[in-house]
Amino acid sequence: ATTRSADKISIATSSITGWDDEVGTFLAVVEGPFAYGAYILGGYQTETPIYSGGSTFQSWNGSTNLAAPVGNPTVAGVHKIASAGDASGRSIVSDGNTVGTDANVFISTDIVDLYIGSRFDSTGAIFGSIKSLTYYPTRLSNDALVGLTS
């Protein structure tokens, strides 16, 4: 059997139409299970809009963690996760369940590249599938996030 390294996939944020790391919404449709620390969507070093925090999907803005109250990444199957924020705070929800919110900034530093399926240094690989990943250059409402993930 042959083993190869995980792919490192990234996109420069300058090539994303309407990119603003202070305002926006990400929607990921993924198939797991995912281990703790699997980065579905990560920025440089610590800013991580969507990752597996073990028993919940989470968002890390560089200084503060926010967990989706319901939804377990370690359960096999398809999951829909949305993470959004603006100057008034941020939200995360998985699989159409309860929305987790706080008043912290969405992403605390400028992100030059987004890493898909791992961290910038290729650690935190998901070892699962990303079926789709969508960026909205606006902060969608919590009701819209629930609808997108249902």
Summarised one tens digit per residue, pLDDT across range 58-96 is: 998 888 899 999 989 999 999 999 999 998 999 999 999
Averaged pLDDT, 37-51: 81
Q: How far apart are the C-alpha atoms of 125 and 116, rounded to whole Å?
A: 9
Q: How far apart are the C-alpha atoms of 69 and 99, rounded to whole Å?
A: 7
The token pair at 6 is 């995980």
The token pair at 28 is 């990921």
- Res 15 pLDDT > 80: yes
Q: pLDDT-derived band of residue 7, with 50, 70 and 90 as boundaries?
A: low
Measured between its terminal Cα atoms, the distance across the chain in Å is: 39
Q: How far is CA 98 from CA 11, 42, 70, 71, 117, in A?
A: 30, 23, 6, 9, 25
Q: pLDDT-derived band of residue 9, with 50, 70 and 90 as boundaries?
A: confident
Q: How far apart are the C-alpha atoms of 40 and 34, rounded to whole Å?
A: 9
Contact 60, 144 (CB under 8 A): no
